[in-house]
Amino acid sequence: MKTVKDIPNLKDKKVLLRVDFDMALNQQLTINNQPSSSVSHGARIAEPFRVEKQKLMIDYLIEHDAKVVMVAHLGDTGEFAPLIPQLHMLLGREIAFLKSIEEIPAYLENYAGPALLENIRRFPGEKENDEELAQKLSSGLDIYINNAFAVCHRKHASVSAVTKFLPSYAGFLVEEEIAKLGQAIDAPAEEKVIIMGGVKAETKAPVIKNLIDNADKILLSGVIANDIAKARGEDIGRSVVDDNINKILSNLDIASPKLVLPVDYIMAENRRLDIGEKTIAMYREVINSAKTIIWNGPMGVFEKDEFSAGTKLVAQAVADSSAIKIIGGGDTIAAVNRFSIPLEKFTFVSTGGGAMLAFLAGERLSGLEALGYYADK
Ligand code: 3PG
């Protein structure tokens, strides 16, 4: 896999830079019931972490006199135009906005600083990995850099097909994510603890299956814990489980003592909505003796105060531990922010949600495949 450092000379090179600006948004702020003047309409970025993680790459390219056009998505339909003033603030520089792909070559001829194209998923063909779209996107450009680890599990035109039309390189963030997540996977199994919670059990189970032999303990909560508890024959009341438990848990030894389930819960309407005090104490003890921790997914419905203690105390225990601690996933980062725990307390915070889990599950990520990552391994 070629990386940015392999590009011989960036001066005046026209760079198509795939970034990940897919962020949680707040509704527009209002002051005295009047809309804030800082955005024209729509929403504001609630969680700037992913934007901040792009700054290093963008600054580097600009310092090396490259001409940069950024491509990103914002959900499937979000619009970047209202967010440009905030992106400008977060990145510390003016960002031009390009509404259509046709505008790119002309903009590059009269280049006036980095530009961002409208949400690429609003253009037909992105999610189909359409080669025509990829070719159109590449026209007038010299180089493609993928700095969007969080979208590398998607076989989309701006992630995969585009690499057929331009010399392609991994950006700093893609390199960093691969290195840090790889270190966590390869860390010795003894004293390696994995914490998995949240709602999307189908993306957590493959990680557990891939890492169970290479971890000491897997502390569980959320839907994946409910699924396993049910499969073990526990009465879980009305707690949420997946419809396809058998498929999700296939090839997993659910009786393994490495899979640690909660022993008590905070319940409401006969549902398990948070882990209880005994479980918190037990999980904290395991966390305190770990040397490597990988955490994805909250312990309970942390958005509601009455069900937030489990996630809060587990988050604090991870943050305070002297282990190598890797966290990731939108909900996990949102939880850490809600409890005002600085992200700097963690060794590495992955920008990837689904991509982080797919990588930890040992899956081949289409975006990395397109960059030649697996061919070199
Ligand atoms: C993410 O939020 O994990 C990435 O931006 C990918 O988004 P997607 O799940 O909509 O493909």
The last residue of a domain, from among 147, 175, 203: 175
Contact 231, 254 (CB under 8 A): yes
Q: Is the pLDDT of residue 323 over 70?
A: yes
Residue 344 in any domain: the answer is yes
Does residue 317 share a domain with residue 271? yes
Instruction: Establish whether residue 18 lines the binding site of ligand 1, counting it when its CB lies within 6 angstroms of any ligand atom.
Output: no
Q: Is the pLDDT of residue 48 over 70?
A: yes
CATH of the domain at 228: 3.40.50.1260
Q: How far away, in angstroms, is 353 Cα from ligand 1 center?
A: 7
Per-residue pLDDT band for 60 (boundaries 50, 70, 90) equals very high
pLDDT on residue 24: 86
Question: Residues of the chain with pLDDT > 70: what percent?
Answer: 96
Contact 21, 54 (CB under 8 A): yes
Give nearest CA residue, ligand 1 atom 10: 75
- Mean pLDDT, all residues of the chain: 95
Per-residue pLDDT band for 87 (boundaries 50, 70, 90) equals very high
Instruction: Establish whether residue 331 lines the binding site of ligand 1, counting it when its CB lies within 6 angstroms of any ligand atom.
Output: no
Does residue 207 share a domain with residue 171? no
Q: Is the pLDDT of residue 39 over 50?
A: no
Residue 57 in any domain: the answer is yes
Per-residue pLDDT band for 371 (boundaries 50, 70, 90) equals very high
Residue 272 in any domain: the answer is yes
Annotated binding residue 271? no
Instruction: Establish whether residue 126 lines the binding site of ligand 1, counting it when its CB lies within 6 angstroms of any ligand atom.
Output: no
Give nearest CA residue, ligand 1 atom 3: 353
Average pLDDT over every residue of 155-170: 98
How far apart are the C-alpha atoms of 82 and 49, rounded to whole Å?
Answer: 18
Model pTM?
0.93
pLDDT on residue 30: 44
Residue 367 in any domain: the answer is no
Q: Is the pLDDT of residue 160 over 60?
A: yes
Does residue 18 share a domain with residue 55? yes
Instruction: Establish whether residue 154 lines the binding site of ligand 1, counting it when its CB lies within 6 angstroms of any ligand atom.
Output: yes
| φ/ψ (deg, to 5) at 366 | -55, -40
- Which atom of ligand 1 is the closest one to the Cα of 76? 10
Instruction: Establish whether residue 354 lines the binding site of ligand 1, counting it when its CB lies within 6 angstroms of any ligand atom.
Output: yes
Q: How far away, in angstroms, is 210 Cα from ligand 1 center?
A: 22
Does residue 224 share a domain with residue 302? yes
How far apart are the C-alpha atoms of 27 and 285, rounded to whole Å?
Answer: 40
Per residue in 164-196, pLDDT (tens digit) is 999 999 999 999 999 999 999 999 999 999 999
Average pLDDT over every residue of 90-98: 97
- Which atom of ligand 1 is the closest one to the Cα of 75? 10
The last residue of a domain, from among 151, 175, 199: 175
Per-residue pLDDT band for 350 (boundaries 50, 70, 90) equals very high
Which of 18, 25, 47, 73 to mutate to test ligand 1, by most ligand atoms within 8 A of the CB atom? 73
Q: Measure the CA angle with vertex 137, ends 135 and 138; round to 5°.
A: 65
Average pLDDT over every residue of 122-133: 98
Instruction: Establish whether residue 155 lines the binding site of ligand 1, counting it when its CB lies within 6 angstroms of any ligand atom.
Output: no
Residue 211: give the domain boundaries: 187-360
pLDDT on residue 298: 98
Tokens representing 304 are 């509601």
Per-residue pLDDT band for 127 (boundaries 50, 70, 90) equals very high
Q: Is the pLDDT of residue 33 over 70?
A: no
Does residue 238 share a domain with residue 313? yes
Annotated binding residue 73? yes
Does residue 235 share a domain with residue 140? no
Q: Which residues of 186-204 are buried (b: 16+ CB within 10 A; e: fewer)?
A: ebeeebbbbbbbbbbbebb
pLDDT on residue 275: 98
Q: Measure the CA angle with vertex 59, ends 53 and 61; round to 5°.
A: 115
DSSP state, residue 264: -
Give nearest CA residue, ligand 1 atom 5: 22
The last residue of a domain, from among 115, 140, 175: 175
| Beta strand 271-275 pairing with 34-35 | unpaired
Q: Is the pLDDT of residue 302 over 50?
A: yes
Instruction: Establish whether residue 329 lines the binding site of ligand 1, counting it when its CB lies within 6 angstroms of any ligand atom.
Output: no
Annotated binding residue 332? yes
Instruction: Establish whether residue 156 lines the binding site of ligand 1, counting it when its CB lies within 6 angstroms of any ligand atom.
Output: no
How far apart are the C-alpha atoms of 58 and 69, rounded to whole Å?
Answer: 10
How far apart are the C-alpha atoms of 150 and 33, rounded to whole Å?
Answer: 36
Average pLDDT over every residue of 278-305: 98
Average pLDDT over every residue of 121-135: 98
Instruction: Establish whether residue 151 lines the binding site of ligand 1, counting it when its CB lies within 6 angstroms of any ligand atom.
Output: yes
Does residue 141 share a domain with residue 202? no
Average pLDDT over every residue of 23-33: 62
- Which atom of ligand 1 is the closest one to the Cα of 20? 5
Close Cβ partners of 109 (under 8 Å, ≥ 6 residues apart): none
Torsion region of 33: left, alpha or beta (phi above 0 gives left; psi -120 to 50 gives alpha): left
Q: Is the pLDDT of residue 247 over 80?
A: yes
pLDDT on residue 28: 54
pLDDT on residue 241: 97
Q: Is the pLDDT of residue 31 over 80?
A: no
Average the pLDDT over each of 18-27, 89-98, 291-300 and give the range with the smallest value: 18-27
Does residue 54 share a domain with residue 27? yes
Q: Is the pLDDT of residue 29 over 50?
A: no
pLDDT on residue 25: 87
Q: How far away, in angstroms, is 354 Cα from ligand 1 center?
A: 7
Residue 374 in any domain: the answer is no
Q: How far away, in angstroms, is 330 Cα from ligand 1 center?
A: 10
Among 103, 47, 39, smallest CA distance to 71 is for: 103
**CB half-sphere exposure, 17, CA atoms < 13 A:** 30
Does residue 128 share a domain with residue 40? yes
pLDDT on residue 27: 63
Taking every pair of Cα atoms in the chain, the longest distance, rounded to a whole number of angstroms, is 67
**Count of domains forming the chain:** 2
Does residue 134 share a domain with residue 8? yes
Q: Give, for 231, the enclosing helix (H) or strand (E).
A: helix 222-231
Q: Which residues of 349-360 are buried (b: 16+ CB within 10 A; e: fewer)?
A: bbbbbbbbbbbb
Residue 56 in any domain: the answer is yes
Residue 299 in any domain: the answer is yes
Does residue 191 share a domain with residue 171? no
- Which atom of ligand 1 is the closest one to the Cα of 156? 11
Does residue 200 share a domain with residue 161? no
Name residue, tokens 């997946």: 242
| φ/ψ (deg, to 5) at 137 | -65, -35
Give 312-377 as a DSSP string: HHHHHHHHH-SSEEEEESHHHHHHHHHTT--GGGSSEEES-SHHHHHHHTTPPPHHHHHTTHHHH-
Residue 368 in any domain: the answer is no
pLDDT on residue 42: 61
Per-residue pLDDT band for 44 (boundaries 50, 70, 90) equals confident
**Higher-confidence residue: 355 or 39?**
355
